[in-house]
Amino acid sequence: MPAPSQASKVELQSAIRKVADQYLKDPNVSSVGLGYRVKDGVQTEELTLQFTVDAKAAPEALPGMQTAKIPARMEVNGITFTTDVVERSFSKDAQVMPVNTKSERKRRLDPIAPGTSIGHTQVSAGTLGCLVREVASGELRVLSNWHVLQGEHGALGDLIVQPAPHDDNRIAANACGRLVRSHLGLAGDCAIASIEHRSATEAAFELGTTVRQIGDPDLGDRVVKSSRTTGVTYGIVTRLHTITKITYGGAGPQQIGGFEIGPDPERVAPSGEISQGGDSGAAWMAVEDGTPTELMLGLHFAGETTEPAEFALASYASSVFEKLEIEPLQAPAIAPAMPAAAILETTPGYTASFLPGHDVALPRAATPGVETDYAPTKAGALVRDYTHFSLAMSRERRFCRWVAWNVDGGALRKNSRNGLSFKLDDAYDPAFQIGEDLYAGNRLDRGHVARRADLVWGSPEEAQRANVDSFFFTNITPQLDDFNQSGKQGLWGELENAIFEDVSVDSLRLTVFGGPIFKDTDLVYRGVAIPRSFWKLICFVESGALRAKAFVLTQDDLEAKLESLGLEEFQLFQVSLPDLTARTGLAFDDLLTADTLRAGVESVAGEQPILRIERRSQIGA
């Protein structure tokens, strides 16, 4: 009879499945899998068929527990196993424990990101594992557990929210997709959902990995996950081909296949726990030479019931991907850098006729001071064209005066920003640009004026060229991190998304203008006057009619924030086009009759109307 080490993977799985069918009927037995014997709490090098039980007891006490003794040796399907019994029980990580409620992982994000809170509307909270591609449709999907995205009360097509209801019960505002496919059984506890209401980033929260490959683990492999509750936690694979008995509420007891992960003694989690409620759905990634890789090995679905929870369970990524008919994301091809002069000649830039049935010209300088402040390119042009956007630079301030861009909502892509870096534009003299020196060693972020997510559309080559172009410093302004970071930027980052969601936009197309508002009172920092206010003008067609909405974001305590690192909020307002012209020195002649802000909204004695925006629902109103 061969030993386990001499049997194939298929032979081992078949034998263990046969054992599980018999022994998991025992109320005291919780799982069975292939692992190294544990003696006096220490792992040995003896490979065994390892059983976990809710409670160990002397042989004479077993009948009273309605459980039977597990034999020391077994012969199954021609394979000879020695056995080991350890005291360990598991449950799906669904009961969410009260933890730090201010965690970024539990807030509404746009783009949504792996490692953060997600769930069905009737599920407390779980983790968004990773982004995947559905093989049949080619559509981007989010991967998590059956009990996170469906649960006992759910059905295909149901709404999925990010964050999950336990973290934020504003269901309608947090909608992020719908349940597409699910499975609960030996292949795993798994499900996928669509992404319909927000953009998504591929890299896992605080871990930075993207799932590009899948594989099967070996005993002793080091792994890491990014999850809602325990954050980034490391572990070591301790059992393979493990079948675990888990009770799923109304769905009853189920046998779930996968493998077990124990603590990594070299990288122990601060809490001492490898798994907690809300971690379900996280992707376990392989670690090589201490560094997380892009190889996914498993999908987390359960943890040890005792405290601290030192062991966790994951479904095999290979089984999950096969069952759900999904595949990993492919790394985007990075287009070779183009000479600045070549970009000037070949890129279309902003298109005035982009909106159906209407032309919207570039901004016009409304004052002589603005026109004479435009910085020329080396070729003498005052307007610089990139892929899907154009801009004009301020000679004096060395930031863009305005950026104009087109958004095709029906052709947006999810290109990664991996490998891309901010850079000066060779088309301009460096004297007209602010570069990296301003941003080192402080809380200033390099903030895109034209959002990268807005620009990445069209053919794969076109989208990637726009992706690269968006990182020129000409499209960047300094923004304090609580303004610019996706988890904190609030309504400002939701303007375009809210229009798409709340308005029937013809052809799913937007034309957008934006930039900083320059004031004489702006704070000078490292020799650069930092704008304290920004503007954005969104144009669209609704039922054939041209519409325009102008917004201003202002931060009054900029000096105090740079010195004290305080957290004062930005204020967001909708303003009229005449008001926007007065603030920016730019005129938008084609849009005056399209302005949606009606007179009488907080207007006083001839002043232009201003509407303070405090809720997302006000944006599309």
Express each pLDDT in 51-80 by its tens digit.
Answer: 999 888 777 777 777 788 899 999 998 899
pLDDT in tens, 215-228: 999 999 999 999 99
Q: Is 524 helix (H, G, I), strand (E, B) or coil?
A: strand
| Bond into 332 cis (ω within 30) | no
Q: What is the CATH T-level fold of the domain 340-618, as seen in this structure?
A: Extracellular Endonuclease; Chain A (3.40.570)
DSSP state of 472: B
411 or 98: which carries more pLDDT confidence? 411
Q: Give the model's pLDDT for residue 569.
A: 56
Largest CA distance in the chain: 98
**For the purposes of burial, counting CB atoms within 10 Å of the CB of 362, is it exposed (0-12), middle (13-18) or buried (19 or more)?**
middle
Cα–Cα distance between 18 and 543 in angstroms, integer? 63
Q: Across the strands, what pairs with 408?
A: 509
Q: How far apart are CA 197 and CA 200, in angstroms?
A: 10
Quote the pLDDT of residue 265.
87
The identity of residue 377, as a single letter, is T
Rounded to two decimals, the pTM is 0.56
Per-residue DSSP letter, 485: S
CA distance 403 to 421: 20
Question: Given pLDDT bands bounded at 50, 70 and 90, which one contains residue 556?
Answer: low
Length of the chain: 621
> Among 381-395, 454-468, 553-567, which stretch is predicted with the lowest mean pLDDT?
553-567
Verify cis geometry, omega within 30 degrees of 0, for the bond prior to 163. Answer: yes
Question: For the purposes of burial, counting CB atoms within 10 Å of the CB of 403, is it exposed (0-12), middle (13-18) or buried (19 or more)?
Answer: buried
The burial of 155, by beta-carbon neighbours within 10 Å (0-12 exposed, 13-18 middle, 19 or more buried), is given as exposed
Q: Does 10 or 367 have the greater pLDDT score? A: 367
Listed residue (534, 582, 532) closest to 557, CA to CA: 532
Q: Is the pLDDT of residue 342 over 90?
A: no
Take residue 183 and report the two structure tokens written for it. Answer: 């499975």
Residue labelled with tokens 């039922």: 543
CA distance 548 to 590: 10
Q: Residue 72 in contact with residue 6, Cβ under 8 Å?
A: no
**For residue 488, what pLDDT is reported?**
35
Q: How many CB atoms lie within 10 A of CB 54?
A: 16
Indicate the residue type of 75.
E
Sequence-separated (6 or more) residues with CB below 8 Å from residue 98: none
Residue 600 has pLDDT above 60, yes or no: no
Confidence class of residue 601 from pLDDT cuts 50, 70 and 90?
very low
End-to-end Cα, the chain, rounded Å: 74
The mean per-residue pLDDT over the stretch 482-509 comes to: 71
The mean pLDDT of 118-132, rounded to a whole number, is 95
Beta-strand ranges (E) seen in 320-414 are 326-327, 364-365, 374-375, 384-385, 389-394, 400-408
Contact 207, 219 (CB under 8 A): no
At 234-244, the pLDDT tens digits run 999 999 999 99
* pLDDT tens profile 4-19: 777 788 888 889 999 9
Q: What is the mean pLDDT of the chain?
A: 85
CATH of span 91-331 = 2.40.10.10
- Three-state secondary-structure class, residue 405: strand
Mean pLDDT of 174-179: 94
DSSP string, 208-256: -----EE----TT-EEEEEETTTEEEEEEEEEEEEEEEEE-GGG-EEEE
In this model, does residue 344 exceed pLDDT 50? Answer: no
614-621 CB contacts, 8 Å cutoff, 24+ apart: 614/572, 615/491, 616/173, 616/491, 616/494, 616/498, 617/502, 618/574, 619/491, 619/494, 619/495, 619/498, 619/499, 619/502, 619/549, 620/498, 620/499, 620/501, 620/502, 620/503, 621/502
Whether 340 contacts 226, CB under 8 Å? no
For the stretch 406-452, pLDDT in tens is 999 888 887 877 778 899 999 999 999 999 989 877 767 788 999 99
